[in-house]
Structure 1
C-alpha cells in the first residue's frame, strides 16, 4: 500500500518551476519577475538574457526549468507558451554581525527569496473561450 498520488498544483496545459532559496531580497527579485509576467517565453528569455540586473540570471534559470517541465513532463508546445505567473516570496534570512567603532557590533541581514514560475500554453485560453461560444 502506498500513499495516493498528490494532485497537480497547476491546471491542465500548465507547467511549474520553483526556486526555494535565491540569494537576494524579494524586492529586487520582484522587479525582475515583473519584466516577464504575461509575456511569451521566447521574449521573456531574451529580456532576461540582456538585462543588467543580477537577479535576471536566477530568474532565467527558473523560467528555463519551467519550459523544460512543460516540454518533457506535460507534452506542451514550447513555441506557444506564455508566462502566466511569476510570483515572489520571502524565505529565510541569515543574520550576521560585523564589528563597528568603540566595541559595538552591527547586525547584517542576508535575505533569501522564493520564485514560482508558471507557464501556460496559449491555445488553452482560446480553447476554453471557443467552447463557451459554441
Structure 2
C-alpha cells in the first residue's frame, strides 16, 4: 500500500470552514473528491483542490510508477488552527476594537488501492 500526504500551511481560511468541506471528501476516491470540490460554493474548495492535487503528485513522484488516479482514496483530511493575525479597528471615543483573522493548516493523506 502506497501512501502520500500534502499540506498547506498558514492559509487565510478559518479552520472551521475548511473542516466543513474536508468532511465531505474524507473517504472518497480522488476523482470523485475533485468533482465534489469543483461544484461546492465555498472559498476553501480552491485551496483544497490544490492540496489534493499536490498529494496525488507526491504519490506519483515518491513511488516512481504510473498510478491510476481513479484508484486513489483519501484516507485522512483535516484542518488544524494556525496562528491568528491580530489587527485593530478604530472605534468611537478613541477606543480600539481587536480583530482576529484566523489561519489554518490543511493536511490531506492519500493511498493507492
Normalising by structure 2, report the TM-score. 0.93
Where does residue 61 of structure 1 map in the other structure? 50
Query: Is the contact between residue 71 and residue 78 of structure 1 (CA under 8 Å) also seen in structure 2?
Result: no
How many aligned residue pairs are there?
111
Query: Is the contact between residue 66 and residue 119 of structure 1 (CA under 8 Å) also seen in structure 2?
Result: yes
1:93 matched to 2:104? The reply is no
Where does residue 31 of structure 2 map in the other structure? 42
Query: Is the contact between residue 31 and residue 69 of structure 2 (CA under 8 Å) also seen in structure 1?
Result: no
* Structure 1 unaligned spans of 5+: 1-11, 123-134
CA–CA separation in structure 2 for the residues paired with 1:63 and 1:99 = 40
1:23 matched to 2:22? The reply is no
* Structure 2 unaligned spans of 5+: none
1:78 matched to 2:69? The reply is yes
Where does residue 108 of structure 1 map in the other structure? 99
Which structure would you say has the larger Rg? 1
Q: Deviations over 1:21-55 (max 9, x none)?
A: 11111100100111110000000001111110000
CA–CA separation in structure 2 for the residues paired with 1:31 and 1:85 = 14
Could you tell me how far 1:68 is from its partner in structure 2? Answer: 0.8
Could you tell me how far 1:102 is from its partner in structure 2? Answer: 1.6
Q: Deviations over 1:90-130 (max 9, x none)?
A: 111110001011211100001110011000112xxxxxxxx
Higher relative contact order (CA 8 A, sep 6+): 2
